């Protein structure tokens, strides 16, 4: 007797990201509304939805409920991020400008951090970020506030 097995394809983080984006669009919810519903910041929520951070089981379950995602997506959302991104200069105008800011002001930021803290880095793991709109008569401003734990280089 011959047995046939049906193998279902496994979901990837990229598949789940596409599901999230599709469900978000269908729901009409903003990232701020989604984040509020799962009790997280909009910055962290979007980053995790894009696969750049891992959800806890509680937050993955909450997001799946908010966006009506399949249960299989919950486990995938908890997987550690691989943080793979394009290393070439981005072509999206908004992302390019952020890249340009780091290119122009990166050495200045590094020098000022080292003067204030010593030789080290700002953590992107123990990190907070807020994006707000600031009214201005010359045109509204985008305010990006970043706060990362200072990590001194260790000698060992």
Q: Give catalytic residues, as residue numbers.
A: 97, 100, 123
Please give the DSSP secondary-structure letter assigned to residue 68.
Answer: T
Contact 36, 17 (CB under 8 A): no
* Cα distance between residue 106 and residue 108, in whole Å: 5
Contact 20, 47 (CB under 8 A): no
Helix residue spans in 39-117 (DSSP H) = 42-49, 57-67, 71-77, 93-117
Phi-psi region of 103 (alpha: psi -120 to 50; beta: other; left: phi over 0): alpha
């Amino acid at each position: 007797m011959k047995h046939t097995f049906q193998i279902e394809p496994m979901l990837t983080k990229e598949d789940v990201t596409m599901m999230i984006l599709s469900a978000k669009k269908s729901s009409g919810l903003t990232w701020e509304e989604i984040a509020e519903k799962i009790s997280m910041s909009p910055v962290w929520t979007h980053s995790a939805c894009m696969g750049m951070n891992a959800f806890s089981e509680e937050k993955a379950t909450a997001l799946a409920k908010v966006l009506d995602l399949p249960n299989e997506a919950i486990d995938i959302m908890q997987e550690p991020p691989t943080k793979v991104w394009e290393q070439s200069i981005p072509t999206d105008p908004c992302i390019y400008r952020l890249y340009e800011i780091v290119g122009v002001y990166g050495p200045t930021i590094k020098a000022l951090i080292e003067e204030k803290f010593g030789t080290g880095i700002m953590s992107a793991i123990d990190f907070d970020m807020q994006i707000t709109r600031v009214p201005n008569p010359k045109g509204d401003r985008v305010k990006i506030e970043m706060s990362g734990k200072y990590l001194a280089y260790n000698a060992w």
